[in-house]
Amino acid sequence: MMSTRKDGLISYDDFIHKMDANIRHRHNMINNSVEEALFKKINDCLQYSGETLFSALQSADYDESGSILKEDLSRVFKRIGLSTIEPNLPRIMEIGGVTPNQEKIDIKSFSYKFMRALDGKIKSIEFEKKMFIHKIHSLIKAKEFSLFDVFIRMDVN
């Protein structure tokens, strides 16, 4: 709750608190957008490569122990087509259940946790797209436009 003085001015502490909350909110919104784009890109790369994350991780298991070194994870994602993955590696490891002090990554556990999160995010993105298209369709019906009319109105040049 914001406290103001009798003259309607906000206190310095309340102002700083409000600004911090605003910055945290904007930061979270950006992180969500970046994460959605990252998941979409990883999904696209896996589909394009025709490889599963599990098999890509296994290719980096040089000693056939069922695990890879944490340092090899960026090489695995580059193998499937992500060239600039390093800034996102901490979040990818977190999603896959890797702790910061962990040296080796269990392939089965990581791929299962990561793919579960990936599937959930992709389904969420697809659902949002369908809802957006549904809203556009409802608007077109409500205004009694044909699809041709919509494209004509959208064509500005």
Which one is the CATH code of 12-118: 2.40.160.40, 1.20.200.10, 1.10.8.50, 1.10.238.10? 1.10.238.10
**pLDDT of 129 higher than 70:** yes
**pLDDT of 73 higher than 50:** yes
- Structural domain boundaries of the chain? 12-118
**pLDDT of 138 higher than 80:** yes
pLDDT band at 113 (very low <50, low <70, confident <90, very high): very high
- List all residues 6 or more positions away from 54 whose beta carbon is below 8 Å from its beta carbon: 107, 108, 111, 115
Q: What average pLDDT score do residues 132-143 get? A: 82
**How many Cβ atoms sit within 10 Å of the Cβ of residue 144?**
7
pLDDT computed for residue 3 by the predictor: 56
- Output the average pLDDT for the chain: 83
pLDDT computed for residue 1 by the predictor: 47
The C-alpha atoms of residue 15 and residue 2 are separated, in whole angstroms, by 9
Residue 139 and residue 154 in contact, taking contact as beta carbons nearer than 8 Å: no
pLDDT, tens digit (0-9, with 9 covering 90-100), for 35-54: 788 888 888 888 887 888 88
**pLDDT of 32 higher than 80:** no
pTM: 0.60
Percent of the chain whose pLDDT exceeds 70: 94
The three-class DSSP label of residue 1 is coil
